[in-house]
Amino acid sequence: MHATVSSNVPTTARAEEAARNARDTRNDRLFAGLLKACALLVLIALIGAATSTLWLGRDAFATFGWGFLTSSAWDPTNNQYGALVPVMGTVLTALIALVFAVPVSFGIALFLTEIAPNWLRGPVSSAIELLAGIPSIIYGMWGLFIFAPFVATTIKPWLMNHFSADPPDGQVSWLVQHVPFIAKFFSSEYPFFGAGIFTAGLVLAVMIIPFISSVMREVFQTVPTRLKESAYALGSSTWEVVWDIVVPYTRTAVIGGIFLGLGRALGETMAVAFVIGNTFKFTPSILETGSTIASTIANQFGEAEGLQKSALMAIAFLLFVVTFIVLLIARLMLRRLATKEGS
Amino acid sequence: MSASLYTTRRIKNVLAMILSVAATGIGLLFLAWILWETLSQGIAGLKPALFTKITAYREEGGLANAMVGSLILNVIGILIATPIGVMAGTWLAEYSRRSRLGPTIRFLNDILLSAPSIVLGLFVYTIIVLPSQWLTNGDVTFSGIAGGIALALIALPVIVRTTDEMLRLVPGTLREAALSLGVPQWKLTVQILIRAARSGIVTGVLLALARISGETAPLLLTAFGNNFMTFNPLDKMPSLPQVIYDYTKDPSPDINTLAWAGAFVLTMFVLALSLVARFVFSRSKVSHD
């Protein structure tokens, strides 16, 4: 059929068509190749970030070996470096942030999906998302000038009165007298100094609340209305529907959202740099000053030379690997939800 | 017995409701607190010199060079990230269907989206700052170009993701109609699909711009900062977030006031951008229906 039609067409036109087809095919292939090259840049950026920090950190890894991970020394004057204090600070601040951010985010998501009247949901969720839009340097400033003094005058004295062996009000609490070791976690050399690991954790908590709560809200909305209504019909209260139906249904994705927040908290620089104190003494106390990997890099990179610069690169590599793994877990858990939605 | 069970359940429920409302209150309280401090302290520091004088004058100066620097860095970042991001997103949405690379890159892009920006800054330091220092015998070290590239790396995943998502929203019938007319695929992609998803892609670019305008950490390692006005992208370049960082650390309260004023300008800019992005996006939704 096609052959009979084309045999009536003059040969020049046929040749033209063939040439055009060839041109289109070639252009298509070029175009697809160009697009693919751009997509591969994403891959290259991730691999590049890992290899470049590992490469420039090789001196530190070679000099200190495995001891780099376990040494608590960070001493530019004697050129001794160990990752323990910044790694501990990073993990501790992120965990403190999660302890506060997860319940609050859960409450917000619960409010936005089950409790709030419809007209209130839009404005409140926009407002919470606004919190995510504020640049982290603003969190840092607010933390340093406003929140740290507030911690120093209000939160810290309260914590020390109840949990430390050296309380400002002089009365050692029952808890401290009877629970061993607890005072170690709440001691402070400078009781009236607001900066510290705990303060940094609180600022991080505020920062990651919008991320975790928006994931939770989104996944809560994926629960089929049928399922919830069946539970309501059986006489469940709102709380029982949420706790026994919504949460089990969305568990993986909720954990994914929490890991997403954790990934953010681990890698945050500016909000932490001002409020953590930037000291390198090893301490179990969360009320003491400390440092995180990101804050150490931001503070010292400008003046660092030689081995110190290499050590900074080396801890950056550690940070990248850890956040990569955390985010990988987060995305894997969230992806399962996406396939569930699709089916 | 059953009455008491009922009461316990009700108490539990009411308690959960109260805690949930309280949690929302806490979130909103912190938002209001941070915005209020930025507004009140920032407006107190506003003065004309802020926009006309450079940071070299310290207390008597302003932030003009920082704002210009930020503008240049953001423009470089967006100019690099937009074409690459849109093309990468297009590949993911349109071309990766039969390859296993597609889902992998989409997945890794999501990770890049929340990767620590300071490490990305160190990456750009390694591949741009160090080589340029070596090639020019130290004439060019930290530079606006390096800062712009670092910002581009942060903007890239945002643009890739929105482009990918927006293109996948374009109905398949549009593709089939064009292909059945004999349009080559590249033409279909450029002239039909990207045009159909245009406002969504613009939203992505605006969101990316909002995100990079507030970035500080990578700029400390790439653009470094400069107390003078510079338009040369090969110079060390100041930026608003970096000056805010330095001025916040400064012991002088007058300098801190300038930092607050800068924070006010920066926050207003970023929030306005996200509002515009939302507006563009809501319009795009209407036009799709």
Say yes or no: B6 contacts chain A, CB-CB below 8 A. Answer: no
Residues of A in contact with B83 (CB under 8 A): 38
- Determine the pLDDT at residue A343: 36
- Determine the pLDDT at residue B138: 84
Determine whether the interchain pair B95/A36 forms a contact, defined as Cβ–Cβ distance below 8 Å: yes
**A104 to chain B: closest CA residue:** B23
Give the model confidence (pLDDT) of A270-294 as tens digits.
Answer: 999 999 988 898 888 899 999 999 9
Determine whether the interchain pair B217/A302 forms a contact, defined as Cβ–Cβ distance below 8 Å: no
Determine whether the interchain pair B38/A267 forms a contact, defined as Cβ–Cβ distance below 8 Å: no
**B209 to chain A: closest CA residue:** A133
- Determine the pLDDT at residue A84: 93
Architecture of domain B49-288: Orthogonal Bundle (1.10)
How far does the CA of residue B21 sit from the closest CA of chain A (Å)? 6
CA distances (Å), origin A147, targets B202, B258, B264:
37, 19, 17
- Does residue B289 surpass a pLDDT of 70? no
Say yes or no: B281 contacts chain A, CB-CB below 8 A. Answer: no
- Does residue B68 surpass a pLDDT of 80? yes
Lowest mean pLDDT: which of A164-173, A245-254, A312-321? A164-173
- Determine the pLDDT at residue B231: 93
Mutate to test the interface with A, among B29, B86, B122 (most CBs of A within 10 A): B122
What's the whole-number mean pLDDT along residues A163-167? Answer: 82
Q: How far apart, in whole angstroms, are the C-alpha atoms of residue B45 and residue B248?
A: 13
Determine phi and psi for A290, rounding to 5 degrees.
-160, -150
Give the model confidence (pLDDT) of B92-143 as tens digits.
Answer: 999 988 888 999 999 999 999 999 999 999 999 999 999 999 999 888 889 9
Mutate to test the interface with A, among B87, B119, B179, B209 (most CBs of A within 10 A): B119
What's the whole-number mean pLDDT along residues A186-210? Answer: 90
Read off the tokens for A227: 């399922």
- Does residue B216 surpass a pLDDT of 60? yes
- Does residue A338 surpass a pLDDT of 70? no
Compute the count of residue pairs across chains A and B with CB atoms less than 8 Å apart: 262
Determine whether the interchain pair B186/A41 forms a contact, defined as Cβ–Cβ distance below 8 Å: no
- Does residue A342 surpass a pLDDT of 80? no
Say yes or no: B114 contacts chain A, CB-CB below 8 A. Answer: yes
Residues of B in contact with A237 (CB under 8 A): 9-10, 12-13
Q: How far apart, in whole angstroms, are the C-alpha atoms of residue A321 and residue A328?
A: 10
Which value, to the nearest 10 degrees, does the dihedral of the CA atoms of residues B188, B191, B192, B193 take? Answer: 80
Mean pLDDT across chain A, nearest whole number? 89
Read off the tokens for A329: 């877990």
Determine whether the interchain pair B16/A242 forms a contact, defined as Cβ–Cβ distance below 8 Å: yes
Query: If pLDDT is split at 50, 70 and 90, which confidence band does A204 have?
Result: very high
- Determine the pLDDT at residue A102: 97
Query: If pLDDT is split at 50, 70 and 90, which confidence band does A10 have?
Result: confident
What's the whole-number mean pLDDT along residues B188-217? Answer: 92
Give the rounded distance of the alpha carbon of B54 from its chain centre. Answer: 25
- Determine the pLDDT at residue A9: 61
Interface of B with A in 140-199 (CB under 8 A): 153, 156-157, 160, 184-186, 189
What's the whole-number mean pLDDT along residues B154-174? Answer: 93
- Does residue A54 surpass a pLDDT of 90? yes
- Determine the pLDDT at residue A202: 96
What's the whole-number mean pLDDT along residues B222-227? Answer: 91
How far does the CA of residue B76 sit from the closest CA of chain A (Å)? 17
CA max distance for chain A: 106
- Determine the pLDDT at residue B280: 83
Query: If pLDDT is split at 50, 70 and 90, which confidence band does A295 have?
Result: very high
Determine whether the interchain pair B210/A105 forms a contact, defined as Cβ–Cβ distance below 8 Å: no
- Determine the pLDDT at residue A7: 54
Determine whether the interchain pair A41/B84 forms a contact, defined as Cβ–Cβ distance below 8 Å: yes
**Contact indicator for A105, A216 with CB cutoff of 8 Å:** yes
Lowest mean pLDDT: which of A104-108, A337-341, B3-7, B58-62? A337-341
Say yes or no: B44 contacts chain A, CB-CB below 8 A. Answer: no
Pairing of strands A80-81, A74-75: antiparallel
Determine whether the interchain pair A301/B221 forms a contact, defined as Cβ–Cβ distance below 8 Å: yes
How far does the CA of residue A333 sit from the closest CA of chain B (Å)? 12
